[in-house]
A and B are shown apart, each in its own frame.
Chain A
Amino acid sequence: MPTTRIILDTDPGVDDALTVLLALASPEIQLEALTTICGNIGIEKTTRNALAVLELANASHIPVARGCESPLVSLLGKSGEAVHGTSGLGQANLTEPKAQPVKQHAIDYLIERILAEPGQITLFTIGPMTNLALAIRKDPRIVPAIKELIIMGGAIRQGGNVTPLAEFNIHADAHAAHIVFHSGIPITLVPLDATYKCLLTYADIEHLNRINSRIARFVRDSTSDYMDFYRKYEGFDGCALHDPLTLAVILAPELFTFEEHHVDVDISGGVGNGNTFADFMKVSKKPANMRVALDVRGRDFVELFLQRMETLCRSMEEPTQ
C-alpha cells in the first residue's frame, strides 16, 4: 500500500495528541505537518501542545503552523478544561518544546502545501474547521487540489456531546463547518455515532504501561482526567478515541460502515445550532456531499490503536532501573 501523505489540523487536546502518536506509529501514513486551531483549549496551548507531543515522539522535524485564535462568528466556546485539563493534555507534564511554529499562518500554510502538490495531500480536521473554511474562501483553488478530507465531527443519529444535539467541533464553529460541508471537497465524516464505539479502558492503559516508555506514561497521564470526566458525566469506565478513529479511514477502512449522504449543519442560532443532520430520506433532493461513518467495529479499532502504541512504546523503551 502506498503511503498516505497527511496534514492534520488539530486542537491538542488529549485525543488529538493520541492521534498525532497514532499517525507517527503508522507506516501507512506520512504525517507532513500539523496546523493548530483553538478548540479544546486556546491557540497558545494547542500550538504548544502540538510541538510538545511531536518532541515527545522524537518527531520535531514535522512543521507546525499556528492557526486562528477564535471561531468565525460564534463566541469562543466554553473552554474544554473540564475534559482536557488546564494544559489541554490532562495530567501529562510535557517539557516546554524547543521547536517553534513556522512563520506562516495555518491558513496560508494549508493553501501553499495543498497547491504545491495538487491531489497529493489528505487533510484531517480533528478540531473546529475555522482554518480550512478561511483557506477555502481565501483561495478556492484548494478545493479540487485536496485529495480527501477526513473530519472528526458531528453527531448524525447520535446525541450531541456539547448540547443535546451538537458535537463539540462542529458546534465550536458551525459556520466554518457549513463552509467546508458545502465546498465540494471529497469528505469522509467520522461522527460521534462511530467514535463513541471506540472506548479505551483503564485495563488497556495498564497493559500498555507494562512497557517502560515515556509514550506509555503520556497515554496514561494525559487520559486520566479525561477518563474521570467520562465516568462522571457519561457513566462508563474508559474514554472515547474520537480523533484517533479518523486515521482508521486510511489504516483500516474495512472496520467502518459508510453511507453517502447529503449532510448539513444548523447555523440558525436556535436550540439545534451546530447540529449535523443527514438527509436519509432524500427529502432535499440534494446530491450526497460526503461519506459518513455511521458505525464501526469499535473494539477492533481500539486493538489496532493499542498495537500501534505498543510498537511506538517499544521503539522508545527505557531500561528498567
Chain B
Amino acid sequence: MKRRIILDTDPGIDDSLAILLALASPEISLEGLSVVHGNSSTAQGTVNALSVLELAKAEHIPVYAGCELPLVQPSLLAPETHGEHGIGYAKLPEPLTRPQSQNGCDFLIDKIMSNPGEMTLVAIGPLTNIALALRQEPRIAKNVKEVFIMGGAIRHEGNTTPLAEFNTYVDPHAAHMVFHSGMPITLTPLDVTYDCIFLKEDLNRLLKTASPITSFIADATRFYMEFHDEYQHIEGCVINDPMTMALTFMPEICDYQELYVDVDLSGGVSMGSTFADFYRMTQKPANMKVALGVRPRVFMELFMERMEKLAKSLT
C-alpha cells in the first residue's frame, strides 16, 4: 500500500528536490501540492511547483495556491538563499498547467476530511496554510494520518536568527498552532538536516546521467552551494526538505525522541526558536516525535539513487 501524500511547500530549491524525490519514490503517491509563502512568494512558488512537476512529467498532480503572508509577523522571503525566482540559477519554462482555483487551505481540509486516516501531510515551508486549515476545520487534526514537518532547531543553532530556523521563524504563530493541535507530528529539525550535505562530488556523480532533471538539480543547487559557502562556510549545501520526504517511507534514516516541543512567540531575541523539554520540566506530554540523530550517507545514497533513476526514466 503506497503512502498517500499531500505536500505543503514553498518552492524553493530544496522544496523542488523534495518534489522530485517524491515523484521518484514508488513507496509513496503524491496527490497534491499546496503552496505557501516562504522561500519565495506564493505566486512564484506556485509557478515553480507547476514547472518542477512539468519537468518531471507529473503535471497531472494538482497544485493549489495558499496563504501569501504569515499570520502575524511581517512577510519574510529568502531570495538570498533561493535566488530571485526561488530555484537558484535554474530556468524552467513557464508552466503550461495552471494552479487549481481552490484555495490551498481548502484543499488540505477537503483532501484530509474526505479520506479520513488516509492522508500523510508533509509540510516543508512555514506552517501558515496548515494553521489556518486547523482553525477552519479542527477535525483535520484527528483525520490526518501523520504530519511530517521540516522545521525548527532543537539543540542546533538557527539558520535565520542565532536561535531560530527559517520556517518556524517566518510564521512562529502558525508553528505554535500546529505544534499544539494534537496532530501526530514527526519533526525534522536542523539538528539532522545539517548533518546531510549535498557535496560537489554528489552533484558531479548525478551529472554523469545527462538529463533535464540533473541539469535542473545542478543549476538550482549551484546557487544554494554558493550561499552556504558564503554564509555558513559549508562546501556543498544542506537539503532539508528531501530528508523530510524520505522519512515518510524510510524512517530508519533517523533516530527519534518523543518530546514536548514548543516555539517562542514572545517577540524577544528567541522569537521563533523551537525548544524541547528534555527534562520534563513542564510535565507536559510529548506532542511530537523529533528526529535528533541521522545516518547521513544512508539518506544521501537514497537521494542520489532516486534522482539517477528519475533522470534515466525521463530521458
Residue ranges of A at the interface with B (Cβ–Cβ < 8 Å): 68-70, 72-73, 105, 107-108, 130, 133-134, 137-140, 175, 178-179, 267-270
Contact = CB atoms under 8 A, between A and B. Distances in A.
Given A138-B132, A267-B72, A268-B266, 20 more contacts: A70-B135, A70-B138, A72-B72, A72-B131, A72-B135, A73-B177, A105-B137, A133-B71, A134-B132, A137-B71, A137-B128, A138-B67, A138-B103, A140-B69, A175-B71, A175-B72, A175-B173, A179-B71, A269-B265, A269-B267
A137 B69 contact: yes
18 contacts: A70-B138, A72-B135, A72-B177, A105-B136, A105-B137, A107-B136, A134-B132, A134-B135, A134-B136, A137-B69, A137-B71, A137-B128, A138-B103, A140-B68, A179-B72, A267-B72, A269-B267, A270-B266
10 A-B pairs closest in CB distance:
A268-B267, A175-B72, A68-B135, A73-B173, A269-B266, A137-B67, A105-B136, A73-B176, A107-B136, A178-B72
A134 B69 CA distance: 11
A139 B173 CA distance: 19
B7 interface: no
Contacts of B123: none
A178 B266 CA distance: 14
B273 to A, nearest CB: 14
What's the dominant secondary structure at chain A's contact region? loop
Measured as residues with beta carbon below 8 angstroms from the partner, the interface class of chain B is: 20 to 34
A318 to B, nearest CB: 42
Given A134-B132, A175-B173, A269-B266, A72 B105 contact: no
B103 A139 contact: yes
Contacts of A175: 71-72, 173
A72 B71 contact: yes
Interface in B194-223: none
Interface in B30-59: none
A268 B131 CA distance: 20
A179 B171 CA distance: 13
Contact of B105 (A138, A178, A270): A138
Interface in B125-165: 128, 131-132, 135-138
A72 B173 contact: yes
A130 B132 CA distance: 10
Contacts of A267: 72, 265, 267
Interface string B259-270: 000000111000
Interface string B267-290: 100000000000000000000000
A132 to B, nearest CB: 12
Contacts of B131: 72
B177 to A, nearest CB: 6
A293 to B, nearest CB: 25
**Chain B CB within 10 Å — which of A68, A137, A139, A269 has the most?**
A137
A134 to B, nearest CB: 6
A105 B136 CA distance: 7
Nearest to B137: A105
Interface string B169-185: 00001001100000000
Residue of B69, B131, B132, B135 ringed by the most chain A CB atoms within 10 A: B135
A140 B71 CA distance: 12
Interface in B209-258: none
B313 to A, nearest CB: 38
Nearest to A174: B72
B129 to A, nearest CB: 9
A105 B135 CA distance: 11
Contact of A73 (B67, B132, B265): B265
Contacts of A108: 106, 136
Interface in B75-119: 103, 105-106
Contacts of B177: 72-73
A270 B106 CA distance: 34
A133 B103 CA distance: 16
Contacts of A72: 71-72, 131, 135, 173, 177
Contacts of A130: 135
Contacts of B103: 138-139
A56 to B, nearest CB: 29
A70 B181 CA distance: 11
Contacts of A107: 136
Contacts of A268: 266-267
B24 to A, nearest CB: 33
Contacts of B72: 72, 175, 178-179, 267
Best-buried of B71, B131, B173 by chain A (most CB within 10 Å):
B71
